[in-house]
Amino acid sequence: MQPVVTGSVVSVEVAQALGLTAEEYERILELLGRPPNFVELGMFAVMWSEHCSYKNSLKLLRTLPRTGGRVLSGNENAGLVDIGGGYAIAFKIESHNHPSAVEPYQGAATGVGGILRDIFTTGARPIAVLDSLRFGALEEPRTRYLIRGVVGGIGDYGNAFGVPTVGGEVYFHPCYTDNPLVNAMAVGIVRCDRVVPAVARGVGNPVFLLGNKTGRDGIHGASLLASRTFSDGQHDMRPSVQVGDPFAEKLLLEAVLELVEAGIVVGMQDMGAAGICCSTSEMSARGGVGMRIELDAVPLRDPDLDAYEILLSESQERMLVVLQRGTEHIAEAICRKWEIGFARIGEVTDDGILRYYHRGQLVAELPAWTLVAGEGAPQYEREAREPAYLQQVRSIVPEELPEPVSPQEAFWLLLQSPNIASKRWVFEQYDYQVQTNTVLVPGAADAAVLRLRELPGRGIALSVDGNSRYVYLNPYRGAAIAVAEAARNVACVGAEPVAVTNCLNFGDPYDPEIFWQFREAIRGMRDACSVLGTPVTGGNVSFYNESPRYTVYPTPVIGMLGLIEDVSTVVGMGFRAEGDIILLVGPQRAELGGSEYLWLFHGLVAGDAPSLDLEEERRLQQFLLTAIRRGWVHSAHDCAEGGLAICLAEKAIASEGELGADVVFPWELKAAHLFGEAQTRVLLSVSPRHYGDVQRLGQELSLPCVELGRVVRSHFCIQGVVRTTVAELRHCYEHALPAVVEAL
């Protein structure tokens, strides 16, 4: 029987209005052997959208290393890494860029809510959130509007839910003016024998909807908001942005974890993008089963919602759960205890067909696999062409440009640059101590560190990294640097980098130059992850990040997980003891390409990305882990934006008390040496009695270890460049961003 929806008219023009192409409409006709009705066409539109199907990226994503090491397989909600002792870490990063551009507060808040649900649908309890944010120039009124809304949404949702926001990054560049990037990463812990798959199994098992009632918010958020380029009328898309309720999500979390503990959950998936349509089709396809769904049983906020709206609504704080038949009474008691919605909406069937009924009619009937990425959904590899701009920007040799200001003036201006200055104004709006597991707080180290109560003495380190200027100049090398720096940052606290989640933010994939950037970035990540032994556990691709005025720089963001055997051995970035020797470990190279110095003083993103030797990087991280775990190192800090001079200042600013540095540079006092952003370099402070141990380890691993000076009390001096106090450094660094925001 062909399902019927009264009054619906379907044509290729209607399909195109919903975001499908004429060729994709023809493919639907072939798959079904008949024309779809309007409800079915809407389901294909959302499920074959870029956001849900990864149709322009999946072929390339499959070239990334996905297995090996500690990675556990078999879960589609979030990546899982075995940490020993019978436990696993679940972690994932995703974007909420387009919703945040349209409605920054709710866009960012629901981004946090969605990624948290991805974690606890695995059966894991969320223990941390990190975020990676990109905004336009602070002088733009729109930027200030966006940053206040986004930071407020992240803070309010995470704080109310009760999860610490422990780290992240914030960058500013004009290319993000219209289209900010809001990437949220969440982390949880789960017993390995309690991991729940996102799979439907067991013919006759009941299918339940848990959580909030269904409304009209978020309809076509996946297909028409997250899978399109912005126009001047973007604010008309506000109804496509979901609305979050962190208190409802907290209750949903506790109910879900109690259901998992009871051992009655067969499979579970968050209702995020494409709502009921997505969760029923994906869970069924993975299990090779079908479902019969009664849409009349779905609790509604508005009784006038039709079948199309019910299926495609992206109302937040909802889960699809398949229970073991006969355990419904147990589940009902648990959900009643936590006061969350609990409605049986269908059951698992044996024929692989999804059937949806509404008001006595069969309104949609589709094979589950036809809707799903990697199966029925189309997969493309688009035309790729090296961008024309590369020849121009690489023709500039940044190291040969005149130095417009003195080294001293450059130092102070860089220290106060929005991309370098303290982001305390941002992270103090987040509760980063809730749950009391945070060992190293934001600003104290290159990575966040959390203790694991389930495994006393052990911990994890977390970092999110990505420098889009490097990727703009050299997509392959820039993406490899993102992986290397994220791994280096967790190694700087004494954690072993073990796995990656990534969020890949790019423009329109139908533009050959942008697809070339994407393809090269994937290749760079693949090579870096392979050499460093950090497989990719999952993540997110966000295309169409552009407007008529701007296309964002290609921005792959890497979320890195590191493991710590003994959390008492971790170190921060700040100096800890007067008289310690300051060492630069790693090769010194004079490279200004893509640097903050070049942007601030020449207004250029030019040259080439910094050079990177992945084997050298691997040896540096091995050095860090060995030296820190043996107790030879008092502090470690990666040389990143602003180069060596700024790295030294940040170590003094983060010190315990008023500890500064007295440093003599053994190189020429030129901008490329002082402020260049060469890779694979770390500044350490070590006690004199371990100086020889560190030098010998460097020799064994063929790494230069250059003594720069000593840790001193109160003052900070780079001879020939700057002489000041630690107090003055702190004042400038901490007050720069709030001063700019308030002045504007």
Strand order in the sheet with 633-638: 633-638, 682-686, 581-585, 705-713, 659-663, 715-718, 722-725
Tokens of 486: 């994220």
Residue of 96, 98, 358, 673 marked catalytic: 96
In terms of Cα–Cα distance, which of 462, 460, 488 is closest to 564?
A: 460
Burial of 404 (0-12, 13-18, 19+ CB in 10 A): exposed
Q: What SS3 state is found at 647?
A: helix
Q: What SS3 state is found at 500?
A: strand
**Beta bridge partners of residue 296, listed in sequence order:** none
Tell me which H or E stretch contains 269.
strand 265-270
Burial of 513 (0-12, 13-18, 19+ CB in 10 A): middle
Please provide the DSSP assignment of 31-73 as one string.
HHTS---HHHHHHHHHHTSHHHH-TTTHHHHTTS--SSTTEE-
Task: Look up residue 279 and give its amino acid.
Answer: S
How far lies 524's CA from each of 386, 475, 476, 484, in Å? 15, 7, 4, 10
Task: Look up residue 142 and give its amino acid.
Answer: R
Backbone angles phi, psi at 695, to 5 degrees: -60, -45
Given a contact cutoff of 8 angstroms between Cβ atoms, the answer to whether 150 and 170 are in contact is no
Tokens of 473: 């100049």
Burial of 238 (0-12, 13-18, 19+ CB in 10 A): middle
Burial of 420 (0-12, 13-18, 19+ CB in 10 A): buried
Cβ neighbours for 517, distance < 8 A, ≥ 6 positions apart = 387, 471, 475, 506, 554
Given a contact cutoff of 8 angstroms between Cβ atoms, the answer to whether 57 and 503 are in contact is no
Instruction: State the Cα–Cα distance between residues 274 and 222, nearest whole angstrom.
Output: 6
Residues, the chain, total?
744
Separation of first and last alpha carbons in the chain: 64
Residue of 51, 98, 220, 673 marked catalytic: 51
Instruction: State the Cα–Cα distance between residues 32 and 706, nearest whole angstrom.
Output: 68
Task: Look up residue 50 and give its amino acid.
Answer: E
How far lies 607's CA from each of 121, 255, 471, 474, 598, in Å? 45, 54, 12, 9, 10
Is residue 51 part of the annotated active site? The answer reads yes
Task: Look up residue 657 and give its amino acid.
Answer: G
Is residue 98 part of the annotated active site? The answer reads no
Tokens of 515: 């697809």
Instruction: State the Cα–Cα distance between residues 3 and 410, nearest whole angstrom.
Output: 69
Backbone angles phi, psi at 263, to 5 degrees: 75, 30
Residues catalogued as catalytic: 51, 96
